[in-house]
Each structure stands twice: as structure tokens, then as C-alpha cells.
Structure 1
Amino acid sequence: MKKLFFWWSKLKSTFWFVPVLIIALGIALPFWLVYLDNTHGFEPKGGWKYLFPSSPNAAKDILSTIAGAMIGVAGTVFSITLVALTLASSQFGPRLIKNFMYDRINQTVLGTYVSLYIYCLIVLNTVKDTDQLEFTPIISVFFALLMTIGNIVLLIIFIHHVANSIQADNIIDKISKNLSQNLKILFPEQIGDAATFSFDLEKIKAGFTYSKPLKSNKEGYLQYVDPEKLMEHVSGEDLFLELYFRPGDYLFIDREIGKVYSHKNLSEEELEPLKDNFLTGRTRTSQQDAEHAIHQMVEIAARALSPGINDPYTAIACIDNLSNTMAYLTTVKFPSPYRVGEQNRLRIYANALTFEGMMGAAYNAIRQYSKANPPVIIHLMEAMATLHDFAVDQQHKQVIKKHAEMILSLAERSIDEKNDLEDLQKRFDAIQN
């Protein structure tokens, strides 16, 4: 079931899915409205008659005008979207393009304009003005007028949305919100139950007669691990599985992604159902990969610090949002790598996320790119001081101190101003106390 949910989530996040649904609605709707026109014979009276077409020629003119205008505006919308994607790619990185492609407003606007164009063509084909038959679908034409007004309002909303969506602060805020959502469930928390104590892995492995490497049969990024099916298969076959990779890691064909321990010699065919629980793809996804949004934020910061852009304030905004996330992680209990099944038997030892790994993903690249950039280096040290105040666990504090030492080392090699170094040293000394 969760695998189906994963595929459904991927389908919804494509650029074409929502527009196709709206276009399908635009194809089905005129048949129903024309049927109402044909069966009910609606005759507008009073002031309402001025809002409805009075003749087949009037209906044709209205529908033709709307159809021509909608396909023209659809082209304009598509052009605006491409310009926004080009700007995002050049300033924030090509991997940020899919964030714009998955935007529901962009998808809805494009689908709505094309849908109304198709709607008008279908209704226009039903208008008849011959000696044998005269038919004016006044309800269908009136609905086309209402949708046109709605699309004009939608165009204004779309232009406002695009103008906001390419601003650095808004992009960073959106990624930060996605990151906060991804951190609610950390891998491998969904796989079985967490053990309340550690196990002697060597002793567990010695309890099995055979061991066999589990090799990937596909290349690409590990996007999803089906937690229910994986635990069900391992428990049902009385196996122990040691995983070397987690979602977000890149797999090569025939690369050993883990090792299976069993009481019988398993063939490659018997391992295939186990491999089916690991889904790979060409890109990383955020569903189980908590570091994905962190890397997106780091990419924005790295580009902002490049000589071609030289925008330290965008990098500082990224550091602030990352520090907010790391401050939250200092209060979180990271999932145990020991995953147990029925009767609390250890079934899977997973490559679990750690605070140290998340800190490295968040700050290492930014620190490396911030060489000879005093404002960013100083802000990094301020972030470490803030995180040190939030941290309660001593291991977390040691990780933060390690990053502070690397930042200080970078500052001593790249900052020439004595006063800047003294300010940085004061912040570093506060962390050591």
C-alpha cells in the first residue's frame, strides 16, 4: 500500500498530471452542458436574455473569440513559465527547476486555459444553423463566458505568483517548509519497530548459517524503501538484513547494497522479491530522503557565494533556515538502526540518519564555499553558537564544536582583518565554555 502511495505521490508531482486532468474535465463538461441545452430548452427572460446568445451566429462568434484568446494566453503562460524556469536554473541551480514544475498554480493555469480552448471547440461544433436544424447551446456558451472571466482573474493571480516565486527569500522559505515536513519521519523509522537497546551484531550474524550479498539490479538514486513489505519478507523468511545505503544514495548495477543472513542457501531468484522493495530513479526525492531539501538549500547558498553571483545575504538566509532545522534536530531522538519484528527479534540493521551526518550535509559545503567571505564565515560561527545553546546531548555538542573548529580554521586562513578574527574568536570561545 505504501509503495502505491509513493507512486501516486510521484504521479501528482509531475508537471503534466494536473493539466491533463483539467483538460479531461474540459472535454467531458461540454457533453453534459449541451445535453442540458438540448433537453431543457432554457429560455432566458428579462435582463438575463442580454447575457445569453440570441442566435447561432452570436454563439459562434462568442465561442470563436474565446477559443482564439485562450490558446493565445496559454502560449503566453507557457512562455512566462519557461522564463521563470530559466531564471531559477541560472540563479538557484537546475535541480531547483522541479520545485517550479511541481507548483500547483502553474499546472492549474496552463491546464485551465487549454481546457477552455478545447471546451469552446467542442461546443462550437454543436452550434447548428441550417434549414433542417437550428440549435444554440445557450447554457454552454454562458458557462464559457463565466470560465473566461475566471481565467482572467486566474491570469492576474498567476503573474503575481510567478513574480513572488522567483524571489530568493520565498524560494528558501518554501524549501525550509518542505524540509520541516520531511523531518517528521526519519529513515528508517517506518521499518518495523525500533529496538530499545543495542544488539551484538556479530553474535546475531553468527546465528545464521549462510550470508549472501544483496546487489542492486538497477542504477540510479535510491528513492524509496517499502518498509512494510521489507519487514514482512525478512520476518516471513526468517532472515537478517544489513543495509549499507539509505534513500538519497546513488546505486550502481551489481553494487552491494546490503547483506542477507539466512538459515538456507538463497539463490539469486529467491533474492529478487527482496530487491523489489528498493525503488530507484534518476533524481532524488524528498519522501524518505530528509537530506534532499538540505542539499537544495546548500545549492542555493553555494551559488550565491560563487564569484559570478556574489550574494552573501542569500547565503546568510540559507544558513538561518538551516540553523532553524538543526536546532529542531537537537531536540529529536534519531531513529535506531536496529529494527525488530515480531517477538522483538532483530531483523534489519539499517543505515540510519544521524545528527552528525545532518550537520555535515547542512554546513560542510557552505563552509568550503565561504572562503574569503567574512560576513558568511562570521554568521556560520554565530549559527554554531546558537546551536550549542540549544543542544542538550553531549554528543550533539561535540559535533557542533567540531564544526566551529573547522570554521575558525578557515577564518584564520582567509580573513585578514584582525578585528573580524577577534569577534570570531569570542564566539568560538563561548562555544567551548
Structure 2
Amino acid sequence: MIIMLSIFLAVGLVYLDNYVDIPQEGWTRFFLVNSSDSARSILSTISGAMIGVAGTVFSVTLVALTLASSQFGPRLIKKFMYVRLNQVVLGSYISTYLYCLLVLNAIKDNDTTNFIPSISILFAILAAILNIILLIIFIHQIAISIQADKVVADISEFISKQIQTLFPDKMGKEKEENVNATKITSVYSKVIPLKSLKSGYLQYIDGESLMEIMANKSAVIELYFRPGGHLVEGVEIATLYANSDWKEGEIKEIFDQFVIGNTKTSYQDLEFSIHQMVEIAARALSPGVNDPFTAIACIDNLTATMCYLAQAKFPSKYRFDKDNSLRVIADILDFEGVLDAAFNQIRQFSEGSTAVIIRLMEALITIHGQTNLEIHKIAVLKHAKMVLNLGKRTLQEENDLHDLIDRSKKIL
């Protein structure tokens, strides 16, 4: 888009120069070019500098991506590629280079024609000044974007927005009472297995459209996978319960509500975002890095997420339409599953790291204090026992173990 804009600007400003003649008197004589040699020199200097700096910007970006990949994991590269500032800076330098080339080609100085696009050249100078400012901002942004605390904070902010969107996430109306799904589905005469058309990760399910299809056909669909799950071609991903035959086009309409891709995404997959944070912590706890402070920062941010989920209302797996008829039986994510995703691997990698083990216990104490449902408390207590067992098995210093046991008494 920026490149296309530069082409239109070059053509438009040259066209304007052809019809507008600004007298070079007073203060304007200091800014407008009146010599074709000077015009060519200015544009050549700017275009050469811009393409050179563009190469430097590309190199710096690749270095940042390399560092991010090695320190935080390759799955976070996508985050850096989608930073709008990086895209604007790269586009700005290349576009300025292209703009100067087009304007340079418009300069005519011969026996019959003498055309110097003064306004276009002035714009090129202003663009060069703007690009210098952008370079300073870009270097600053790159310097802070690869800091561990900044990366962890950005992921935590994204997770916070995501959980507020997904929980509660409604696919039709929810019912709290116990539902006998087997009894409801048994009244349907047709049981149609739906098998995946290709292999890949389930990225997205259009719940509203799926609910509308089921309601219109008075049918029920039971889903066996949720976004983030890996599908294999031919595996049964759902079962359709109906009283009438479904045509091939109608079955295809159901599959159109599922998005399957080669990679995981965070659109409806909370565990994917949490695993990004866990991966940073796991790499920080590796013997080659040995950075417990980054791991502790990850634990702190995950604690805030789990405290929110401890009070959030998880959606029911049974989804009803506006007439209170069961239409979708979903595969849902529960509190214990998210808790396992957040702390299991960190605990496993923290063996022998006293500070991290103690912080894990403190985090679970905080989460337990924010938990209201008994089933959630049981899940937190299970993790607290595993952390205490890990400490008893790996902590060699008696005082460290005593500190861990003292903390565990607040929850166990």
C-alpha cells in the first residue's frame, strides 16, 4: 500500500509541477531547486541513502527475529512480523527510493525542454527527514522489543484481552442444569459421522452459523475437537444426529464452518497463547540459559490469568437455540485444563531451581484464594501437592525446603 501510494504521489506531484510555477523569491529560494544538476544530485543522494538504509533495516529485523527465535521460541516470530511499525518503516524506505527514481526520470534539461519538478523534489527532502525520524524510532522499538520482560508483558496483555473475549463465550444459550445428551440424541433416527476432509490444526469454528444450520434442520451435532486440536484426514471430528437425510451440499455447509490450517492460531485457542508464555519460561530454565527471573515473570503473569479464570464463567458444553432445544454438544476447555497448560511444563523444567519452585507455590496460593468453585480448588491443590513433592525431591538446602513447606501450609 505504501509503495502504491508513493507511485501516485510521484505522478501527481510531477503533474502539479507542470502546471504550478512557484516564483523563487524571498524564503522560497532557499528550499526550491532551480538547477537540473542540483535536482538530479539531491534525488540521487536521497534514493541511494534510502535503499542503503532499507537494507540495514532488513538486516536489523532479521537479527531481531533470530534473537527472538533462539531466546523465546520460533512461534513468537509471527508476533514480531506483525508489528505495524516494522512494516511501515520498511515500506517507507523502499517507497521513498521508488519515488525518487520516478521523479528523477521526469527531470528534463535539453535544447527544447527545461523541466525541474521543484515541488516534487521538496517533498522528497521532507520524506527523507521523516525517514530519519522513523529510523530512530525503529532502532528504539527493536531494542526494547527483544527484552524478555517486554515480550512477556505483551503476551500477557494479549492473553488478558483474549480471555475476556472467550470467557464466557456463547454458542447459543447455555443451560446450567444437568443434560442427558444420550437421551436427547437417541430420539434421532439418523446418525451421520463427519470425518475431516484434510489434516491440520483446527483454527476456528463459526459457532453462530453452526447453531443456525442445526436449528434450521432440527438436528444436533456433537463436536469431538476444539480449536487448537490436530486433525488427521479421515478421522471423525463430529457426529450429526438428524431425522432426515442430508444432501452432500448440506454436509459441505457444515464443514465450511470449520477452518483448518497448517499451524495453530490464537483466535479461539487460549492454550496456544498460554503455551507461548510457557515456552519462554521453559527456555529460561534450560541449563544453557539459566534465567530464573524470566521464568518468574512468566509465572507472575500466568498467575494473573488464572486468577481471572478462577472467577470466570466457563461455557457449558451443551448449547441450545432460542427455542431451548439442544443443537450443539461442544468440546470445551475447562479450568483444570488451562491450569495444567500453564504450570505443568514449568514445574517439570524447574527441577532444582529453588526460586522458581517457591514462586510456583506462592502463585498457587494466590490462585486458590481467588477460586470459588470446589472443583477448581481441587485442581489447584493437585498442583500444589506436585510442587511440594518436587521441592522435597530436589531441594538440597534444608532452609529452602523449610521455606517451601511453610508456604505450602497455607494451602495444603
**Is the TM-score greater than 0.5?**
yes
- Cα pair 2:278 2:346 within 8 Å, conserved: yes
Q: CA deviation at 1:196?
A: 4.2
2:52 paired with 1:72: yes
Name the CA distance, whole Å, in 2 between partners of 1:371 and 1:327.
25
Residue number in structure 1 paired with 2:26:
46
The Cα of 1:350 is off from its aligned counterpart by 0.8
Q: Distance in 2 between matches of 1:249 and 1:292?
A: 10
State which of 276, 281, 286 in structure 1 corresponds to 2:266: 286
Tell whether 2:150 aligns with 1:170.
yes
Q: Is this contact kept in 1: 2:172–2:211, CA < 8 A?
A: yes
Deviation at 1:187, TM superposition (A): 7.0
Bigger shift: residues 139-148 or 257-266:
257-266
How far did residue 56 of structure 1 move? Answer: 2.1
CA shift, 1:194, in A, is: 2.3
Tell me the percent identity: 53
2-side partners of 1:190 and 1:42: how far apart? Answer: 63
Q: Which residue of 2 aligns with 1:211?
A: 191
Work out whether 1:360 is the aligned partner of 2:340. Answer: yes
Q: Which residue of 1 aligns with 2:110?
A: 130
Where do residues 2-151 of structure 1 align in structure 2 (5 Å cutoff)?
21-151=1-131
- Using the alignment, how far apart are the partners of 1:256 and 1:73 within structure 2? 53
Q: CA deviation at 1:188?
A: 8.0
* 5+ residue gaps, structure 1: 1-20
CA distance 1:222–1:147, change in 2 (3 Å): same
Aligned pair 1:422/2:402, yes or no?
yes
CA distance in 1 between counterparts of 2:97 and 2:171 reads 48
Letter of the 1:423 partner, please give it. Answer: D
1:339 aligns with 2:339: no
Q: How far apart, in 1, do the equivalents of 2:136 and 2:294 lie?
A: 28
**For the residues of structure 1 that align with 2:174 and 2:28, how far apart are their CA atoms?**
67
Amino acid at match of 2:44: S
Q: Distance in 2 between matches of 1:240 and 1:368?
A: 41
Amino acid at match of 2:329: Y
The alignment yields a C-alpha RMSD, in angstroms, of: 1.4
| 37-46 or 284-293, which deviates more | 37-46
Deviation string 1:247-305 (CA, Å, 9 cap, x unpaired) is 11111111111111111243555411101111111221111112221110000000011
Q: 1:72-110 deviations in whole A, cap 9, x for unaligned?
A: 000000000000011111111111111111111111111
C-alpha separation in 2, matches of 1:214 and 1:187: 28
Counterpart check, 1:247 vs 2:219: no
Equivalent residue, structure 2, for 1:272: 252
Aligned mates of 2:195, 2:132 — CA distance in 1: 55
Aligned pair count reads 412
Deviation, 1:141, is 0.7
Equivalent residue, structure 2, for 1:400: 380
Distance in structure 2 (CA, Å) of the matches to 1:294 and 1:65: 48
Q: In structure 2, list runs of 5 or more residues that go unmatched.
A: none
Residue 324 (str. 1) matches residue 304 (str. 2): yes
The answer to whether the aligner puts 1:378 opposite 2:366 as a matched pair is no
Once the two structures are overlaid, the 10-residue window that deviates more, 156-165 or 44-53, is: 44-53
Give the Cα separation in 2 of the matches to 1:337 and 1:25.
Answer: 49
Q: Identify the residue that residue 351 of structure 1 maps to in structure 2.
A: 331
Q: Is the 8 A contact 1:186 1:335 kept in 2?
A: no
CA distance in 1, matches of 2:299, 2:191: 45
> Deviation per CA, 1:327-358, whole angstroms, max 9, x where unpaired?
11112111121111131211101111211111
- Scaled by the length of structure 1, the TM-score of the pair is 0.92
